Amino acid sequence: MTEQFVENLETILGRERIFRNEMMKNHTTFRVGGPADILIQPKGEEVGKIIKLCRQEGVPYCVIGNGSNLLVGDKGVRGVVIELASREASIRITGNTIQAEAGAMLSKVANAAAEAGFTGMEFAAGIPGTVGGAIVMNAGAYGGEIKDVLVSVRVIDEYGDAKELPAEALGLSYRKSNIPENRTIVTEAVIRLATGERQEIFDKMNDFKEQRREKQPLEYPSAGSTFKRPEGHFAGKLIMDAGLRGYQVGGARVSDKHCGFVINCGDAAASDICRLMQDVTEEVERQFGITLEPEVKLLGEF
Ligand SMILES: Cc1cc2nc3c(=O)[nH]c(=O)nc-3n(C[C@H](O)[C@H](O)[C@H](O)COP(=O)(O)OP(=O)(O)OC[C@H]3O[C@@H](n4cnc5c(N)ncnc54)[C@H](O)[C@@H]3O)c2cc1C
């Protein structure tokens, strides 16, 4: 990456939103990950310009939301990390439709919907991701998922051009979409909700949050459920039944509170987490013949 490239980035973004050799552990809920060559925090139209620049200069790029479903390698990420999570991301409500920028936190959208008396986003109250990350992952909980409420998205394609896509074009299914990883960037979403009773909506959200506090190890850094739910089973139960509760590699541990969570219980390296995930997968497969598939996304060099 040349100094000229960095100067061009500065022309688009200014200096304050460009960070060199930025430790990714400061941008992931796992608190794990080595240095990104460059991490930037673009807004709105800037995203397309950045993609065009990276493409023109042959610089690799990737996108993150709030880093709550990510395991970033200890050697970090080469090229440019585009971080979209932002407290300033807009959320606009018109009638029963919410238009939210991809960097808006899901919980903030859920709150805005509840305030306005709209039901359908309660499931998202305790998910610590952004709207963009939730769409790519088809995030869901307690019987709801983003697929149920999403109408359309605005994306920037691999050429840096903006496009509108209907939700049906995204192939949303269990924790999955067909959005090409790190090539198409979601920048905005349109969500449609139904009218509901404000107090009931808040009660439901508070109940979900309480259930999380009771059952999940929220006091430790993690990326949520480490593995997807295998058809007809629960990953956490399989791991517990395999005798792996509290199994530890370095600073990575199978949570004692919820075996479906791998937690960082003290300066874990990404390599500890990978080793632990591999050991867990092998043991569950050996005992039950079921192959666990990671839900967390791996990013960078390990
Ligand atoms: C304590 C805890 C509880 C959790 N509970 C749940 C739960 O109940 N249900 C659930 O589904 N998940 C849960 N998660 C996982 C996580 O919060 C979700 O997957 C969330 O949707 C990820 O959003 P994010 O913004 O953090 O995405 P990131 O982790 O930053 O990124 C995830 C993936 O999406 C891509 N991506 C992110 N933003 C964009 C964008 N704008 N355009 C294109 N690609 C993008 C990234 O490249 C990456 O591949 C939990 C996590 C934690 C830590």
CA-based nearest residue to 254, from 269, 264, 267: 264
The domain over range 91-201 is classified in CATH as 3.30.56.10? no
CA-based nearest residue to 130, from 170, 182, 90, 173: 90
pLDDT at site 8: 97
To the query of whether residue 225 is one of the catalytic residues in this protein, the response is yes
Whether residue 182 has pLDDT greater than 80: no
Q: What would the pLDDT profile of 5-58 be if each residue is shown by its tens digit?
A: 999 999 999 999 999 999 999 999 999 999 999 999 999 999 999 999 999 999
Q: What is the distance between the alpha carbons of residues 146 and 140, in angstroms, rounded to a whole number? A: 6
Q: Which amino acid, residue 72? A: V
Q: Is the dihedral of CA 294, 296, 297, 299 positive or negative?
A: negative
pLDDT at site 290: 98
Whether 5 contacts 243, CB under 8 Å: no
| Ligand 1 centroid to residue 31 C-alpha, Å | 14
To the query of whether residue 210 is one of the catalytic residues in this protein, the response is no
The residues, any chain, with a CB within 8 Å of residue 279's CB and separated by 6 or more, are: 244, 247, 249
Angle between helices 46-57 and 3-13 (to 10 degrees): 170
Q: Select from 69, 83, 87, 216 the residue to mutate for testing ligand 1; criterion: most ligand atoms less than 8 Å from CB.
A: 69
Indicate the average pLDDT of the chain: 97
The domain over range 218-299 is classified in CATH as 1.20.120.1230? no
Residue ranges per structural domain of the chain: 3-83, 91-201, 218-299
| Ligand 1 centroid to residue 129 C-alpha, Å | 5
Mean pLDDT, residues 247-261 taken together: 98
Q: What is the distance between the alpha carbons of residues 130 and 102, in angstroms, rounded to a whole number? A: 6
Whether residue 253 has pLDDT greater than 80: yes
CA-based nearest residue to 121, from 107, 101, 105: 107
Q: How confident is the model at residue 167 (pLDDT cuts 50, 70, 90)?
A: very high
Q: How confident is the model at residue 71 (pLDDT cuts 50, 70, 90)?
A: very high
| Ligand 1 centroid to residue 175 C-alpha, Å | 10
pLDDT at site 296: 97
Q: Select from 137, 222, 227, 263 the residue to mutate for testing ligand 1; criterion: most ligand atoms less than 8 Å from CB.
A: 137
Q: Is the beta carbon of 280 within 6 A of some atom in ligand 1? A: no
Query: Within 10 Å of residue 14's Cβ, how many Cβ atoms?
Result: 10
pLDDT at site 214: 97
Q: Is the beta carbon of 70 within 6 A of some atom in ligand 1? A: yes
Whether 26 contacts 263, CB under 8 Å: no
Tokens describing residue 273 = 């987490």
- The CATH architecture that domain 3-83 belongs to is 2-Layer Sandwich (3.30)
CA-based nearest residue to 296, from 251, 261, 245: 261
**DSSP run (H or E) holding 256:** none
Query: Within 10 Å of residue 197's Cβ, how many Cβ atoms?
Result: 10
Q: What would the pLDDT profile of 121-137 be if each residue is shown by its tens digit?
A: 999 999 999 999 999 99
Q: What is the distance between the alpha carbons of residues 127 and 30, in angstroms, rounded to a whole number? A: 14
Q: Is the beta carbon of 182 within 6 A of some atom in ligand 1? A: yes
Q: How confident is the model at residue 181 (pLDDT cuts 50, 70, 90)?
A: confident
Q: What is the distance between the alpha carbons of residues 160 and 184, in angstroms, rounded to a whole number? A: 9
Q: What angle do CA 105, 30, 101 make, to 5 degrees?
A: 20
Q: Select from 136, 178, 191, 261 the residue to mutate for testing ligand 1; criterion: most ligand atoms less than 8 Å from CB.
A: 136
Q: How confident is the model at residue 204 (pLDDT cuts 50, 70, 90)?
A: very high
| Ligand 1 centroid to residue 287 C-alpha, Å | 30
Q: How confident is the model at residue 231 (pLDDT cuts 50, 70, 90)?
A: very high
Q: What is the distance between the alpha carbons of residues 20 and 77, in angstroms, rounded to a whole number? A: 11
Distances (CA, A) of 119 to 18, 141, 182, 196, 201: 38, 15, 32, 5, 6
Least confident of 72-86, 123-137, 170-184: 170-184
Atom 34 of ligand 1, nearest CA residue: 133
Least confident of 86-90, 144-148, 178-182, 294-298: 178-182
Q: Is the beta carbon of 89 within 6 A of some atom in ligand 1? A: no
Tokens describing residue 117 = 């008396």
